[in-house]
Amino acid sequence: MQTSRARVDASEPEKTRRLSERTLAQVPGGVPRPNYDRAGTRIGTVHFGPGAFHRAHQAFYFDRLLEHDAHRAICAVSLRASRVREALQPQDGLYTLLQLDAAPTLSVVGAIRELLVAAEDPAAVSRRLSAPGTSLVTMTVTEKGYCLDGAGGLDFDHPDIRHDLSRPETPRSLIGWLVQGLALRRERGLAPFLMVCCDNLSENGAKLRNAVLAFAARRDHALAGWIEAQARFPRTMVDSITPATDAALRERVAQRLGMRDEWPVQRERFVQWVVEETDCAGQPDWASVGVTMSRDVATYERAKLRLLNGAHSTLAYVGLLAGIESVAQAVAHPGLRAFIEQLMEQDIEPTLPAARRGELAGYRRSILRRFENPAMRHLLAQIAWDGSQKLPIRILGTMSDALGAHRPLERLAVPIAAWMQFVRTRALAGSPIVDPLQTRLIACGRRATGDARHDLPGFLELPGVFPPDLAQSAEFLRTVGEAYERIAGGGVLSALRPD
């Protein structure tokens, strides 16, 4: 059943007309719209971090869930920034999703029914988290949003965590909000909500659980015991390449819709969501909309983080140093393509479970086909953001396993050295570096000379980036140092070729 809509003057200029409930009837017939009565839906999910990935991925699945479960609408919560609310609230939460392929398809997504900014209206967020109908909290706040230390535990020195422990009713951090919501539910005799991390963290459910329990224990031991006994934090794996929204996408959507959408999103057609099986009564019927339920999410997760995300970061830092802008352009470069194929097959796959080795070969080939997608313009600069947070998960863990197995590190050292040179070139040029360690990275890059013996110690001292087994390994230092100096002396492409 379609939502009822007011009549709209079709003569209204397209450049001023905007997507909303009022104009939804004017969307061209070939563009799918919500196939349910939006007015009859109820919010059952709170999502923290409603950026492009959430709206292209989890909200896409929930849009389909709403066709047979009216209690799965989303309250989207931004911790601080108001940009998403300002863009989508005038649109009644509606936005468009462009799926990029040889024959791209456009659809209107209606799963988001409420938009909040926690910093502006903490009382509203508390009410939503403690509402009897809220059974699920999901999140995409990026790796840095969990306030973890180098060992993967909660960083009690993080300023947001310190603030939230002293002012628990008005949190700043995701962890503070989760614990506050759970505390309110316990006070009111309600079951805890299911907490589903959708970020690229290894063992994401376990790390989220440990962080929540650590925070709760500092606040109230009885609360921590209740959470430990009753709350569930399933592991997940999410996958779909999602380029950032830009002016070209907005114009493309406006031409197709005949009206404006202030924040459309785009992604490749491929989409995957794997959720660990759990006994929580409040969870959705995941499988009904194509979510994979598994007892072994870790296998999916490690393969994705290391093969896809590891290759992505390698392409980003090597490609940017070579003057390449997008993933498709990078993988079309013969030398870089050959290097990536060897890296994935000979260096990354051997660190993954042998039982899936046959499947991994097919997965590796599918990743390369996705990178080649001519309809995608995924900028390497977007992938290069937050390198200090991403590389430990995407590359350095693979290097630790390879080192322990006495496997060569030469190829794996290249993306690490390329990241260091990327930091150095950005710092020397006075260009911004998008990273939680921005200040430290800029200082490190400005001191760098191109000589590995001088420069590497500064990078190795960065907090939470390099694990001790690598930082203290002569083999790691040798291979990264050699790649670093080859890039400094002969350009990044010279580091891809064996001596």
pLDDT of residue 13: 56
My answer on whether 304 and 284 are in the same domain is no
Mean pLDDT of 279-288: 91
Please tell me whether residues 278 and 303 are part of one structural domain. Answer: no
- pLDDT at res. 121: 97
Same domain, 372 and 324: yes
Do 239 and 315 fall within a single domain?
no
Judge whether 7 lies within some domain.
no
Cα distance from N-terminal residue to C-terminal residue, the chain: 65
Q: Which DSSP helix (H) or strand (E) runs through 250?
A: helix 247-257
Residue 58 falls inside a structural domain: yes
Q: How confident is the model at residue 290 (pLDDT cuts 50, 70, 90)?
A: very high
At residue 443, the pLDDT reads: 97
Beta strands 236-239 and 272-276: pairing type?
antiparallel
Same domain, 338 and 484: yes
Q: What is the mean pLDDT of residues 172-185?
A: 98
Asked if residue 222 is part of any domain, the answer here is yes
Question: Tell me, what CATH number does 408's domain have?
Answer: 1.10.1040.10
Residues shown for the chain = 499
pTM: 0.84
pLDDT band for 374, please (50, 70, 90 cuts).
Answer: confident
What integer pLDDT is reported at residue 161 of this predicted model?
98
Give me the pLDDT at residue 18, please. Answer: 97
Q: Are residues 289 and 357 in the same domain?
A: no
Q: 154 forms bridges with which residues in the sheet? A: 148
Looking at the 3D structure of the chain, how many domains does it have?
Answer: 2
Residue 4 confidence (pLDDT) above 50: no
Question: Which are the contacts of 100, defined by CB distance < 8 A and separation ≥ 6?
Answer: 243, 266, 267, 268, 269, 373, 375, 376
Domain assignment present for 12: no
Instruction: Specify whether 377 is located in the same domain as 481.
Output: yes
Average pLDDT score, the chain: 94
* Nearest Cα to Cα of residue 195 among 146, 144, 112, 135: 135
Stronger pLDDT, 150 or 93, i.e. the higher one: 93
Tokens at 305, concatenated: 């983080």
pLDDT for 7: 42
Domain boundary among 295, 324, 344: 295
Can you say how many angstroms the Cα of residue 223 is from the centroid of all Cα atoms in its chain?
29
Q: Which of 295, 324, 354 is the last residue of a domain?
A: 295
Strands of the 112-117 sheet, one edge to the other? 112-117, 73-78, 43-48, 136-139, 194-197
Model pLDDT, residue 356: 58
d(CA 174, CA 412): 33
451 contact partners, CB below 8 Å, separation of at least 6: 485, 488
What is the pLDDT confidence band of residue 15, given thresholds at 50, 70 and 90? low
Residue 497: the pLDDT is 78
13 domain-assigned? no
Task: Evaluate if residue 1 carries a pLDDT over 60.
Answer: no
Domain boundary among 249, 280, 295: 295
Q: Is 14 a residue whose pLDDT tops 60?
A: no
Q: For 212-229, what is the mean pLDDT?
A: 98
Residue 457: per-residue pLDDT: 97
161 inside domain: yes
* pLDDT (tens digit per residue) in 304-328: 999 999 999 999 999 999 999 999 9
Query: Average pLDDT of 165-186?
Result: 98
pLDDT at 8 over 60: no
Q: Are residues 92 and 212 in the same domain?
A: yes
Q: Do 272 and 192 fall into the same domain?
A: yes
Section 287-316 average pLDDT: 94
Based on the domain organization, do 264 and 150 belong to the same domain?
yes
Please state, in angstroms and rounded to a whole number, the distance separating the CA atoms of residues 369 and 376.
Answer: 11
- CATH number, domain with residue 181: 3.40.50.720
Secondary structure (3-state) at 312: helix
Tell me: pLDDT of 129 over 60: yes
Range of the domain at 103: 24-295
